[in-house]
Amino acid sequence: MNYLLKKIFLSVAVIFAFFCIGPVGAHGGELDGTKPMLCATSKVIECLENVDCAEIPLKDANMPRFVIVDSGKKEIRHTGPGASQKTSNIERQEHVDGKLMLQGAEDGIEGVRDGLGWTLAISETSGEFVLTASGEEVAFVVFGACIAKP
């Protein structure tokens, strides 16, 4: 079940793969959601009920390496080599303490109890982000960073 949930979440849910691993310098307004952002992951951590949390290799995460976060269109799109046409809808967005906060939910595979809720917090100054997602007996924490889409 652990492997199935991981695959479902990381391929269907949002989410995310993000481009810059360290801090990113940006000009004002580039990371506040007014322009699309290219994002990439640097670390994925999986937590299961009654089990310790553990970092999982990016190659085993079965998630897109890159995504475009477009808060204007209220969507997150997979991009890059071999990317599918999957998108995730941004259902809520807000600015809190210098972070662009985006939230949504994913149903996953029809007929499977794999739905997840997620929150993506992107620093408007550095571009670094933390994504949290949780479902039934599973949670994920994803770290990475974004830049303004070239």
Alpha-carbon Rg for the chain, nearest whole angstrom, is: 14
Report how far residue 50's alpha carbon sits from residue 33's, in angstroms, rounded to the nearest whole number. Answer: 37
Report how far residue 109's alpha carbon sits from residue 94's, in angstroms, rounded to the nearest whole number. Answer: 28
What's this model's pTM, rounded to 2 decimal places?
0.78
Question: For position 63, what pLDDT does the model report?
Answer: 73
Question: For position 29, what pLDDT does the model report?
Answer: 63
| Residue indicated by tokens 């477009």 | 70
Question: For position 59, what pLDDT does the model report?
Answer: 75
E-assigned strand segments in 16-115: 37-48, 54-56, 66-70, 75-79, 87-89, 92-96, 99-106
Question: For position 112, what pLDDT does the model report?
Answer: 86
Question: For position 81, what pLDDT does the model report?
Answer: 67
Amino acid at 2: N
What average pLDDT values come out for the chain (150 residues) when binned by 10 residues? 42 36 47 93 92 88 83 89 78 96 89 90 97 92 93
Nearest to 146, CA basis, from 59, 22, 57, 34: 22
Q: Per-residue b/e over 139-149, b at no fewer than 16 CB within 10 Å?
A: bbbbbbbbbbe
